[in-house]
């Protein structure tokens, strides 16, 4: 039986990033992926939010996405656009890039990290014991792993086989989403009517002066809300034609679909993200309406939270209990995503009272404080892991400052490229000795004279030192003293090694 330290079920965006994070930590990891190749039928997610770009910047690969995508201010809530150009980040925008391109770029990165992907086969079941998991595959083979990570999407077999509950809410609306050819030129743009929200665009587009400009001709991307919640069966061209006629009075001679699928506002979240040696991440752990474009992004954030923790547990640097912080930190974040998508769906309703409420919310969102708070949540920049009372940086993302070190000036994010933790000392040079953790934690003496500013929070007191995890979150803040540093190093990066 082939063995790997970690087996990942599903090589979508979440599984690819978990694999890359483990490979960066030199953990033996393999992906099992149902699809024969990385090609994706249909468009699905339309891009990346700010914090996701920061995460890729932390790994030195953000330019691969930026060079192919379209930068724009498109973060939005229930029709209100939330401009984040004033946010203190190097990426104060969203990136328009279809999921098929995002996955191709991610798969290229995973390929460079030499992660084996067993393609064209499925995980069909597993059995876990004290020391590991036997993972059964559809080709009759089995793999043995210390841990199994279910990144196998909303219908996750891993979640179901683990018996993990998936409580939540049944759908109230459904939409057909398709890529098709049309004999006639359709009405492009968004339409809001008594049935709901609809949109027709082109797969190929550019953003000029903040406006979407579609290429003439070419494949059309349709999103049409159905009058009643559709069945769970796969939709047909006839279903799409009927739905278009109901809304637009014509189906524009729709033909030659390359994809037709149905999505709903079904909203559910796994009761636990871990059952002993089995973990869940991405859509396997949470599903919700696509409003706000948060699904793929939340999965990527799950992946970078889990990756380094699982690596440390597999390498015996940290106890298994470190994995419990994955659920503790990520479950509340996705619960907020579920909440804001349910709110957005409710505000999409077409009756006059809901319209009045939507307009009222939109008005509130023109005010700075509400705009910043909600935009920080939707873009991931406001993520705050509850690590107790203290400096506002505690549990928040480390800003990508330009600092001066003995090796010259550099961006903080470059220190995270290899997914290793870092203690940044802004105080007296040589003021720290972390020799017992030197095999795991980088110590950098740095100078920074600028202001410390956090998205939606504003300016905060300059710390004298910060301990930053591989995922970029601050777990200890120095304030002229080193109180608590040893505990933080042990909690997050394992026991000190005797000299």
Ligand X SMILES: Cc1cc2nc3c(=O)[nH]c(=O)nc-3n(C[C@H](O)[C@H](O)[C@H](O)COP(=O)(O)OP(=O)(O)OC[C@H]3O[C@@H](n4cnc5c(N)ncnc54)[C@H](O)[C@@H]3O)c2cc1C
The nearest distance, CB 100 to ligand X, in angstroms, is: 10
Under the binding rule (CB under 6 A), the answer on residue 297 touching ligand X is yes
Of 46 and 235, which CB lies nearer to ligand X in the complex structure?
A: 46
The nearest distance, CB 476 to ligand X, in angstroms, is: 31
Number of residues that bind ligand X (CB under 6 A): 33
Of 150 and 478, which CB lies nearer to ligand X in the complex structure?
A: 150
CA distances from 405 to 183, 397, 399, 461, 463 (A): 62, 21, 16, 21, 16
For residues 31 to 60, the per-residue mask of contacts with ligand X, x marking binding by CB under 6 A and - elsewhere, is: -xxxx--------xxx--------------
Under the binding rule (CB under 6 A), the answer on residue 425 touching ligand X is no
Q: Based on C-alpha coordinates, what's the Rg of the chain?
A: 23
Looking at the DSSP bridge assignments, the partners of residue 96 are 47, 70
Rounded Cα gap, residues 422 and 446, in angstroms: 12
Q: Using CB under 6 A, which of 5, 7, 12, 57 touches ligand X?
A: 12
Rounded Cα gap, residues 298 and 188, in angstroms: 29
Rounded Cα gap, residues 368 and 386, in angstroms: 25
The nearest distance, CB 340 to ligand X, in angstroms, is: 13
480: exposed, middle or buried (C-beta count within 10 Å: 0-12, 13-18, 19+)? exposed
Of 254 and 412, which CB lies nearer to ligand X in the complex structure?
A: 254
Q: Are 99 and 43 in contact (CB under 8 A)?
A: yes
The nearest distance, CB 123 to ligand X, in angstroms, is: 4
CA distances from 456 to 72, 322, 344 (A): 19, 29, 21
Structure tokens at 323: 């994995």
Pairing of strands 458-460, 452-454: antiparallel
Q: Using CB under 6 A, which of 58, 99, 225, 341 touches ligand X?
A: 99
Rounded Cα gap, residues 257 and 263, in angstroms: 17
Applying the rule CB under 6 A, the residues between 369 and 398 that interact with ligand X are none
Q: Are 251 and 181 in contact (CB under 8 A)?
A: no
The nearest distance, CB 376 to ligand X, in angstroms, is: 17
Of 16 and 423, which CB lies nearer to ligand X in the complex structure?
A: 16
165: exposed, middle or buried (C-beta count within 10 Å: 0-12, 13-18, 19+)? exposed
Under the binding rule (CB under 6 A), the answer on residue 295 touching ligand X is yes
Q: Using CB under 6 A, which of 5, 6, 7, 13 touches ligand X?
A: 13
Q: Using CB under 6 A, which of 15, 307, 463, 472 touches ligand X?
A: 15
Under the binding rule (CB under 6 A), the answer on residue 10 touching ligand X is yes
Applying the rule CB under 6 A, the residues between 133 and 162 that interact with ligand X are 151-153, 157
Under the binding rule (CB under 6 A), the answer on residue 296 touching ligand X is yes
The nearest distance, CB 45 to ligand X, in angstroms, is: 3
Q: Are 156 and 284 in contact (CB under 8 A)?
A: yes
Of 100 and 192, which CB lies nearer to ligand X in the complex structure?
A: 100
Rounded Cα gap, residues 263 and 269, in angstroms: 17
Under the binding rule (CB under 6 A), the answer on residue 283 touching ligand X is yes
The nearest distance, CB 291 to ligand X, in angstroms, is: 9
For residues 187 to 226, the per-residue mask of contacts with ligand X, x marking binding by CB under 6 A and - elsewhere, is: ----------------------------------------
71: exposed, middle or buried (C-beta count within 10 Å: 0-12, 13-18, 19+)? middle
Of 261 and 464, which CB lies nearer to ligand X in the complex structure?
A: 261
Of 65 and 263, which CB lies nearer to ligand X in the complex structure?
A: 263
Structure tokens at 444: 């950098």
| Window of 8-16, 128-136, 208-216, 241-249 that interacts with ligand X by CB under 6 A | 8-16
Q: Which residues have C-beta within 8 Å of that of residue 165, sequence separation ≥ 6?
A: 270, 271
Under the binding rule (CB under 6 A), the answer on residue 96 touching ligand X is no
The binding site for ligand X (CB under 6 A) comprises 9-15, 32-35, 44-46, 99, 122-123, 151-153, 157, 177, 261, 263, 282-283, 290, 293-297, 299
């Amino acid at each position: 039986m082939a063995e790997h330290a970690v087996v990942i079920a599903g090589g979508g965006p979440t599984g690819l990033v978990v694999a890359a994070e483990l490979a960066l930590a030199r953990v033996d990891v393999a992906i099992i992926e149902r699809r024969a190749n990385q090609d994706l039928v249909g468009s699905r997610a339309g891009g990346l939010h700010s914090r996701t770009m920061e995460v890729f910047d932390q790994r030195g690969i953000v330019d691969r996405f930026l060079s192919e995508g379209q930068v724009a201010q498109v973060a939005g809530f229930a029709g209100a656009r939330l401009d984040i150009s004033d946010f203190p980040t190097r990426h104060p925008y969203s990136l328009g890039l279809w999921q098929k391109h995002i996955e191709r770029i991610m798969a290229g990165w995973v390929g460079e990290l030499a992660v084996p992907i067993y393609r064209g086969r499925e995980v069909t079941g597993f059995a876990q014991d004290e020391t590991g998991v036997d993972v059964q595959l559809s080709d009759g083979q089995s793999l043995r792993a210390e841990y199994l990570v279910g990144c196998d999407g909303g219908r996750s077999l891993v979640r179901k086989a683990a018996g993990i509950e998936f409580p939540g809410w049944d759908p109230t609306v459904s939409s057909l989403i398709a890529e098709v050819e049309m004999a006639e030129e359709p009405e492009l743009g968004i339409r809001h009517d008594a049935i709901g929200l609809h949109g027709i665009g082109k797969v190929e587009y550019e953003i000029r002066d903040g406006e979407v400009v579609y290429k003439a001709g070419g494949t059309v991307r349709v999103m049409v809300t159905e009058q009643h919640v559709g069945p769970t069966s796969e939709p047909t061209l006839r279903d799409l034609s009927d739905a278009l006629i109901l809304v637009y009075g014509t189906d524009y001679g729709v033909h030659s679909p390359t994809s037709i699928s149905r999505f709903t506002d079904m909203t559910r979240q796994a009761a636990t993200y871990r059952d002993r040696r089995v973990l869940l991440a991405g859509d396997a752990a949470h599903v919700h309406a696509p409003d706000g474009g948060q699904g793929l992004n939340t999965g990527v954030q799950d992946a970078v939270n889990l990756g380094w923790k699982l690596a440390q547990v597999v390498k015996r640097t940290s106890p298994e209990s470190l994995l419990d912080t994955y659920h503790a930190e990520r479950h509340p974040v996705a619960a907020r995503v579920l909440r804001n998508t349910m709110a957005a769906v409710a505000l999409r309703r077409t009756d006059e009272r809901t319209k009045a409420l939507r307009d009222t919310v939109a008005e509130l969102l023109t005010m700075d404080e509400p705009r910043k708070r909600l935009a920080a949540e939707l873009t991931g920049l406001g993520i705050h892991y509850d690590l107790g009372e203290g400096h506002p940086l505690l549990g928040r993302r480390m800003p990508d400052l330009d600092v001066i070190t003995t090796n010259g000036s550099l961006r903080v994010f470059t220190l995270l490229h290899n997914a290793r933790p870092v203690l940044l000392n802004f105080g007296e040079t040589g003021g720290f000795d972390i020799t017992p953790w030197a095999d795991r934690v980088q110590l950098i003496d740095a100078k920074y004279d600028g202001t410390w500013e956090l998205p939606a929070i504003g300016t905060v007191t300059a710390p004298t030192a910060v301990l930053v995890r591989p995922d970029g979150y601050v777990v200890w803040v120095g304030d002229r003293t080193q109180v608590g540093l040893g505990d933080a190093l042990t909690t997050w990066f394992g026991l000190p090694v005797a000299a």
